[in-house]
Structure 1
Amino acid sequence: MIRKIIFVTVLFIFSYSFAQEGSVSPYSYYGTGDLRFKGTAENRSMGGISVYADSIHLNLNNPASLGKLRLTTFGVGGNYNSVSLKTADQKETASDFTFDYIALGIPLGNNLGMSFGLRPYTSVGYRIEGLDDAGELSEYNKYEGEGGINKAHFALGYEFLNNFSIGALANFNFGTITNKTISYLDQVQYGSLVENTSEYSGFDFKFSLHYEAELRKNLNLQSAIVYTPANKITSSNSRSISAVSRNASGSDTPSYTEEIDLRGNGLNSTYLHLPESYSFGLGIGKKYTWFVGADYEISKTSEFKNDFISTANGSYEDGERFSVGGFWVPDYDSFTSYWKRVTYRVGMHNSRTGLMVNNVPVHDFGMSFGLGLPVRNFSNLNVGVEFGKRGSTYLGRIEENYLNVFISLSLNDQWFQKNLIR
């Protein structure tokens, strides 16, 4: 009963938090916002690699890993994000706290496992202001956005031939994103507000293959291939135009609003085109003691397309990401030292995100560190920190120096198994 109460309580908290803004980045202005989920806390502490699989941890980026699951595993994680935003002549800071994921993995036999859960996919949370005084009349513009897309997933993994595992994951995407543009012209009493809202829904899929073999005694090889095919989800759209005026407190108050009929030009229902991606991972290690691995991912982000909204200075190219990381456990079954049973993790990533602003690619580089703290039996409290830089101030763009502190619980238990009393 206590287990059920905890699960329902956490699920309620997550359902509330997913409705909140999860980004403080101006880069969430582009596309459908910032990519939120980058792996569990264990994955992120190792630079985001997804090649590693074992019997007691969830790897939500590699469904084939479920074929190795031997204990029922409940995972929940959150993230604190602090960002320093810098242009050529200005600097600001912002921060937020968000939940990252909630998931449950259940072994269905010696070689079969399943998982289901909920996690954010993208988030939008920006407010950009600018003054254009190049013309005869100066023009003030403000851009605001909020919302995001979430994923509810169901996955299966099956291990066969003692070395190979295959997996498939189905996501149901849902969420709402609202973008606002407010403009005022000097010496004109009223400004204009254009508000675009899109409600997204639809499925996408992921497939993976995992291979593990013993190279020699106490040395194992792991490798993985993960493929996400291109897909498209439905976008139900609405648009309104309002005349607005600014009051003494600085708020924009609509005085007249007109809903735009989008059916005439076929924009009431469009598609969001999600690009395909594929990754390759390879690593070696000693069971329960250490592991070092690397992932290389290619994303066909040049295929991304939003039939309803496009941005003036944003475009897309194919993206790529290289991650390397690993862990070390001094003595996993030590009875004399707690810290010898702690898992120490480290990693780094370097990526070409696929987004281009003013035709200049946006890069992201970061390093991460983490600890897996044993709690009870095979359960762990995982904490980690990641810091890095995205973008640059070149050609009037924005540079982000970020710090992420993430924490998760990985709780393990045996379900559906009867204990025999002799």
Structure 2
Amino acid sequence: MIKQIFIVAVLFICSYSFAQEGSVSPYSFYGTGDQRFKGTAENRSMGGISVYTDSIHLNVMNPASLGKLRLTTFSVAGSYNSSSLKTVDASESASDVTFDYLVLGIPLGNNMGMSFGLIPYTSVGYKVQSIDETASPAKSSLYDGEGGLNKAHLAFGYNFLKNFSIGAKANFNFGKVTNTAVYQYEGIQYGSRIRNESEYSGFDFNFSLNYGAELTDALSLKSLIGYTPATKITSSNSRIVTTVPASVNGFYEVDLAKYGLNSTYLHLPESYTVGLGVGKKYTWFIGGEFEYINSSEFKNDFVNPVNGAYEDGERFSAGAFWTPDYDSFTSYWKRITYRIGVRNEKTGLLVNNVPVHDFGMSFGLGLPMNGFSNANVGVEFGKKGSTYLGRVEENYFNVFISLSLNDRWFRPNYIR
């Protein structure tokens, strides 16, 4: 069954998902856009922590977890995203529906597993207007962007020495981002439009190490160390300058090769993650995670952000789940997994030299289906940025749904 569903899902996603805009945030103006992927629905419902692992769920952010995988697992998810945007002078709202990820994990024996899949990682989708009445003549600037960065990954995990698991993941990054700026001046009939387009391609890598131990007969420990090295991916660029309104001869393509900008690099920063948690097997778990991102090293050689800069970022997440009775025969509600999480993030982005913070809370349910398969439903709400110094405050509310389907491939028996 999983094979047929996987093939249909791949065909559908290849024809639709990567054409979606996927963001309504003005903060997607910066870098490669707004980060969309924050873990699977299970991780995201617990504040984005990836330290928890088991044998029947995929944990894309933690490749070492594949060493514990015992069933072929297919996971696909989508979400509804709603944002309320406001400045000191105005407010607006927007929403969209997006595909989040598609991943297939396969156990390769009792102590090894692999996964591969497609993840829309960042999205650009903004329309921002700025009017400067202090200039002479008064100037109006309109900024518009679309596109994003996607990742196709291949990951392996290996369990060794009973309590240790190690994993590695290779991501192929691809996508296109288009940024358009229109400048018009009061009293002048024609303005100008600058359209920058970048096509990205290149690899980055993630590594993780897990350690787990039985503290008592009922209590177990899980820990995580993760590392993402800095890397560069290629950016193939073009720039077209147009007179607005454009006439037949009112535009020209800039010879970027003359300035060494036709092909540049996008510098992606390194990051470090540590996580720790305790729980009772199949019943409850509580954990925390800290990630340090060297985002001050992020660099785009082609496009410099307006009023934007970068500093090192940090993320702290905490989450928990509780399953009253995972093998109850009398009550479906006792077999449901209840999840909760909180996340506080210094994104590393500076707008008007002020840090942009992102705080969110999440709740979720894991709904059992036949066998070990389950559906996951979660909600997340939070706030990003503020109206201080003319910036935008974004209050968001997201609903996400995923299916995690399990089956036996190549193995006569399976173990939870």
The two structures have a TM-score, normalised by structure 2, of 0.97
Residue 6 of structure 1 aligns to a residue whose secondary structure is helix
Does residue 206 of the first structure (1) align with residue 206 of the second (2)?
A: yes
Query: What is the CA–CA distance in structure 1 between the aligned matches of 2:214 and 2:248, rounded to whole Å?
Result: 68
- Alpha carbons of 1:182 and 1:255: their partners in 2 closer, same or farther (altered >3 Å)? farther
Corresponding residue number in structure 1 for 2:83: 83
| Residue matched to 2:235 | 235
Show the counterpart of 1:7: 6
The correspondence for 1:353, drawn from 333, 339, 347, is 347
Q: Which residue of 2 aligns with 1:307?
A: 301
**Quick one: which amino acid aligns to residue 159 of structure 2?**
E
Q: Which amino acid aligns with 1:377?
A: G
Deviation digits for residues 330-388 of structure 1, max 9, x if unmatched? 00000000000000000101110100100000011111000000011000000000011
Counterparts of 2:391 and 2:53, CA distance in 1: 39
SS at match of 1:100: strand
**Within 2, Cα distance between the matches of 1:418 and 1:412?**
14
Match in the other structure for 2:28: 28
Cα deviation for residue 4 of structure 1 reads: 3.6
Could you say if the C-alpha distance between residues 330 and 9 of structure 1 is closer, same or farther in structure 2, counting changes exceeding 3 Å? same
Q: Does 2:329 match 1:335?
A: yes
Alpha-carbon distance, 1:238 to partner: 0.5
Residue segments in structure 1 that go unaligned for 5+ positions in a row: 246-251
The amino acid that maps onto 1:165 is: S
Q: In 2 relative to 1, CA 3–325 (structure 1 residues): closer, same or farther, beyond 3 Å?
A: closer
Q: Does structure 2 conserve the Cα–Cα contact (< 8 Å) formed by 1:37 and 1:120?
A: yes
Q: Give the counterpart letter for 1:416 in structure 2.
A: F
Q: Does 1:386 align with 2:380?
A: yes
1:52 corresponds to:
52
**Distance (Å, rounded) in 1 between the aligned partners of 2:182 and 2:293:** 34
Contact kept in structure 2, 1:244 and 1:255, CA below 8 Å = no
Contact 2:2–2:405, Cα closer than 8 Å, also in 1: no
Q: How many residues are paired up?
A: 412
Corresponding letter in the other structure for 2:267: H
In structure 1, the residue matched to 2:138 is 138
The answer on whether the counterparts of 2:2 and 2:407 sit within 8 Å (CA) in structure 1 is no
Deviation at 1:232, TM superposition (A): 0.5
- Give the secondary structure class of the aligned counterpart of 2:42: helix
How far off is 1:187 after superposition?
2.0
> RMSD value over aligned CA atoms?
1.2
SS in 2 for 1:310: coil
Give the Cα–Cα distance (whole angstroms) in 2 for the partners of residues 314 and 106 of structure 1.
Answer: 42
- Cα displacement (A) at 1:418: 4.5
Would the aligned equivalents of 2:168 and 2:208 in 1 still touch at CA under 8 Å? yes
Shift, 1:256, TM fit: 2.1
Q: Secondary structure at the match of 2:257?
A: coil
Q: How many Å separate the matches in 2 of 1:78 and 1:260?
A: 39
CA contact (8 A) 2:76 2:102 kept: yes
**Number of the residue aligned with 2:177:** 177
Per the alignment, in what secondary structure is the counterpart of residue 7 of structure 2?
A: helix
Residue 21 of structure 1: how far off its partner (Å): 0.4
Q: How far is 1:253 from its partner?
A: 7.9
1:84·1:93 contact (CA, 8 Å) conserved in 2? yes
Which letter maps to 1:294?
G
Matches within 5 A, 1:5-404: 5-15=4-14, 16-245=16-245, 256-404=250-398
Q: How far does residue 241 in structure 1 lie from its aligned partner after superposition?
A: 0.5
How far off its partner does 1:176 sit? 0.3
Q: Distance in 2 between matches of 1:124 and 1:152?
A: 18
What is the deviation of 1:19?
Answer: 1.8
Q: Which residue of 2 aligns with 1:248?
A: none
CA change 1:396–1:48 in 2 (3 A) is same
Question: Could you tell me which amino acid in structure 2 is paired with residue 397 of structure 1?
Answer: R
> TM-score w.r.t. structure 1 length?
0.96
CA contact (8 A) 1:320 1:352 kept: yes
User: Post-superposition shift, 1:185?
Assistant: 1.5
1:272-320 Cα offsets, whole Å, 9 max, x none, are 0000001100000000000000000000000000000011310011000
Cα distance between partner residues in 2 of 1:4 and 1:328: 31
Q: Distance in 2 between matches of 1:136 and 1:125?
A: 31
Shift of 1:135: 2.4
Percent same amino acid among aligned pairs? Answer: 69
Deviation at 1:254, TM superposition (A): 7.5
CA distance 1:375–1:32, change in 2 (3 Å): same
What is the Cα deviation at residue 13 of structure 1? Answer: 2.4
Q: Residue 2 of structure 2 contacts residue 406 of structure 2 at CA under 8 Å; is this kept in 1?
A: no
Equivalent position amino acid for 1:216 in 2: T
1:116-145 deviations in whole A, cap 9, x for unaligned?
Answer: 000011110000112222122122211000
How far apart, CA to CA, are the structure 2 residues paired with 1:73 and 1:9? 16
Q: Give deviations 1:227-249, integer Å, cap 9, x for gaps.
A: 0000000000000101122xxxx
User: 1:94–1:253: structure 2 CA closer, same or farther, 3 Å change rule?
Assistant: farther
The answer to whether the 8 A contact 1:242-1:255 is kept is no
